[in-house]
Amino acid sequence: MSAVLAAVKQSPIPAPNILLMGAGGTGKTFSIRTLVDQGIHPFVLSLDPGGLPTIGDVPADKLSWHVISPGKSSWTDLIKKTNERAALTMEGISSEKDYTKANQKRFVNVLEALANFKDDRTGQSFGAVDDWGTNRAIVLDHLTELGQASKEWTVGSKLVLHQGEWQVAQNNAMALLRNLVTVCRCWVIVLAHIDRETDQILQSTRIMVHALGRAMAPQLPPLFSDVILSAREGIEFRWSTAEPNTDLKTQNLSIHAKLPPSFSSIVEKWKSRGGIIES
């Protein structure tokens, strides 16, 4: 049988789903380049293009990205809206309907990109992420802006949200993430910021992923195989799976507070369990 006709050997297990969280400037986006070293092609779905220069030197045939920019309002529109709100009571502000909602399409744009990823660097289309193999990674950068996009889709730029509106925005974001980690065989990596929240169960302050509303944050770690903290101390960058008072978990790393900021150890552990990088 020729090499052309030979079936591509499929990995018996899907790739891990990883939530990498940390403060800004802790090297989250930069670390994506370590996937390339392992023979994995990252596809960065960027809602915050500010981090892209840190990976811009990686060749386009080895790393792709697609940027989803926020909708823009003119200064004239902002001035008009601000003046209108100045005449409203709090009750009026709470019940206002935002005329810009129809233009807030970022959340739908994210769904469209997952259904057919179009590389901004080459113009090439790569199809739906759930058809990808383990030689590819979808990287969502980042969770904070995904939540904002879901909020914009739900209520536009409305200042005060009712409980039901919060729930709709949160449920939309959670449904997207749950589908992403459930249907994909490729690597799923979500980059996120952190926040200090009160754990409603333990009644203690913990570092948790920054999400759209406090009710959403505790729901996120169970979706992922690994939840890792990215940190920087001076000029030293590190990953941690053992940070005190922090919601972390790992299936593919050792439990340690000072791990190299690289996906290589995760890839090797996954391979030792039978994972194969498909070609």
pLDDT digits (tens, 9 = 90+) for 105-152: 899 999 999 999 999 999 999 999 999 999 999 999 989 999 999 988
Domain 17-272 falls under CATH 3.40.190.10: no
pLDDT of 4: 43
- Say which amino acid occupies 135: N
Q: Are 230 and 26 in contact (CB under 8 A)?
A: yes
The pairing of strands 236-240 and 226-233 is antiparallel
pLDDT of 6: 46
pTM of this prediction? 0.88
Q: Where are the domains of the chain?
A: 17-272
User: For residue 225, what is the DSSP state?
Assistant: S
Instruction: Convert 152-206 into a string of H (helix), E (strand) and C (coil).
Output: HHHHCCCCCCCHHHHHHHHHHHHHHHHHHHHHCCCEEEEEECEEEEEECCCCEEE
* Stretches in the chain below the pLDDT threshold 70: 1-8, 92-102, 159-160, 198-203
pLDDT of 3: 46
